[in-house]
Chain A
Amino acid sequence: MKTDRLFCDLPASALQSFEAIKYATAYPKGAVLFVEGQAPRGIFVLCKGRVKLSICSTDGKTLILKIAESGEVLGLSATISGKPYELTAETVDPCQINFVKREDFLRFLREHSEACLRVAEQLSEKYNTACREIRSLGLSHSAAEKLARLLLDWSARNGEANKQEPRVKLALTHEEIAQMIGTSRETVTRLFAELKKRQIVQAKGSTLVIRNKAALKSLATV
């Protein structure tokens, strides 16, 4: 279970002290782990389940940054820097989560340099996704372009990238997809209808089959 995960795969001594400071908790679906603007209490290591990470504007508009999967550490940068949480985290499924208090975590990092390097890696990865988000939000013209890129991203993450007709499981509603690419629910529904009409994608229940990958790619790089 712990091998392929960036943060859990620590040397035995570090793991032991991590065991001592963590609180294992189960959260139901739809629970809010932390809200943006709150003072950081600590980190949340996602062991099982998925968590929606979003940011909110003052007028209530929501932008979903990412759906975090198991193995990820949430609230990391806020906990380290002591600034308020910059995101809101809400569980999508029932989740198994390890919580570590801020002061415990900082002491743990000071004592275990290996863990510290892992944290740096995690932060870099997050920075990478944030930069990609900036690129896609700031430099794409149309919602169609962003939707095409999102679908290609998802198919790549499921290991279906090299297949002729990759499959994507749509775990989000149109509303949530709209919040991921910064557009309205209506636009997403219209775009999906258009893609289906042009035979680029085909819906099979909640699974989407990409029939024409080349066309989708050209949409993504307008």
Chain B
Amino acid sequence: MPAEKCHAFPAIYAGFVTGVTVTGDSYHCGSSLTLINQNVMESATQPSCYYCEFRPDRLFCDMPVDALQLLDTVKSLAIHPKGSVLFAEGRPARGIFVLCDGRAKLSICSETGKRLMLRIAGPGEVLGLGAAMSGTPYEISAELLDTSQVMFIRRKDLLKFLRDHSDLCIRVVQMLSQDLHAAYERVRSIGLARTRRPRAAQAD
């Protein structure tokens, strides 16, 4: 279950970060050594975003170095298999998902189980942003179309992160505006089409 995987990483990280803050005077302490070992292991599974070759091209990821360092402490990277559901509509928003590679299908569902596809999200996109910012349940569902590496940031960490870095906050606001534009475009195409037939044609 990928969702549990996501939760496990920040827990290890929190342990590590508190370990570092006390290493100053606990040099001989055995436990701090194991923590440092853990750090080495962690950096193997959690490469820093600093070295990502795609970073400069991506709106969310292209951030200043100090913000990147902070991001490395709050993010958790995981490979999710194709077809896994990142989040489902109506579930409480745990945080945001950044697609490092691969694509995800965004859809919306009626109470009776009918599904309407909204769009396909590509690499570099941030998913679940609106719900995470407002703390409301996810308004759409996201399902991976490819086996993808996904970065997860918990809601609490994200809000703190944005409060500390106002330039990033503006970027988040820009991304939300883009999402909203796309949603209104969709409302227009569905709501103002003359018959059901052209709606179906526009759905793809």
Interface residues of A (CB under 8 A from B): 55-57, 61, 63, 65, 76-78, 80-81, 83, 86-87, 109-114, 116-117, 119-121, 123-128, 130-135, 137-140, 182, 221-222
Contacts and interface: CB of A to CB of B under 8 A. Distances in A.
B139 A132 contact: yes
Contact of B190 (A121, A128, A137): A137
B130 to A, nearest CB: 4
Nearest to A57: B192
The DSSP consensus for interface residues of chain B is helix
Interface in B119-134: 129-131, 133-134
Contact of A121 (B110, B134, B165, B184): B134
B159 interface: yes
Contact of A113 (B110, B163, B185): B163
Q: Taking each of B131, B134, B177, B179, which has the highest tally of chain A beta carbons within 10 Å of its own beta carbon?
A: B177
B199 interface: yes
B169 A131 contact: no
Q: Taking each of A63, A117, A125, A127, which has the highest tally of chain B beta carbons within 10 Å of its own beta carbon?
A: A127
Nearest to A222: B112
B184 A139 contact: no
Q: Taking each of B136, B139, B191, which has the highest tally of chain A beta carbons within 10 Å of its own beta carbon?
A: B191
Contacts of B179: 127
Interface in B159-196: 159, 162-163, 165-167, 169-170, 172-174, 176-181, 183-188, 190-192
B130 A76 contact: no
A56 to B, nearest CB: 8
Contact of B173 (A119, A125, A182, A221): A119
B110 A117 contact: no
A117 B177 contact: no
Contacts of A109: 169-170, 173
A135 B116 contact: yes
Interface in B86-141: 108-112, 114, 116, 118, 129-131, 133-134, 136, 139-140
Nearest to B93: A124
Contacts of A61: 192
B112 A221 contact: yes
Closest 7 CB pairs of A and B: A113-B166, A77-B177, A130-B183, A57-B192, A124-B134, A124-B130, A139-B110
A131 B140 contact: yes
22 contacts: A55-B191, A78-B181, A83-B181, A86-B180, A86-B184, A87-B184, A110-B167, A113-B162, A114-B163, A116-B162, A120-B173, A124-B129, A124-B176, A125-B136, A127-B176, A130-B186, A130-B187, A131-B108, A133-B187, A134-B187, A135-B108, A137-B190
A121 B136 CA distance: 10
Nearest to A55: B188
A140 B112 CA distance: 10
A128 B136 CA distance: 9
Contacts of B118: 134
A146 to B, nearest CB: 11
A134 B186 contact: yes
A76 B173 CA distance: 10
A109 to B, nearest CB: 6
Contacts of A128: 130-131, 134, 136, 139
Given A124-B131, A134-B183, A116 B166 contact: yes
B187 A123 contact: no
Nearest to B183: A130
Contacts of B184: 55, 65, 86-87, 130
Contact of A139 (B108, B166, B174, B178): B108
A103 B159 CA distance: 25
B94 to A, nearest CB: 15
A121 B129 CA distance: 10
Q: Taking each of A65, A132, A138, which has the highest tally of chain B beta carbons within 10 Å of its own beta carbon?
A: A138
Contact of B169 (A78, A116, A125, A138): A116
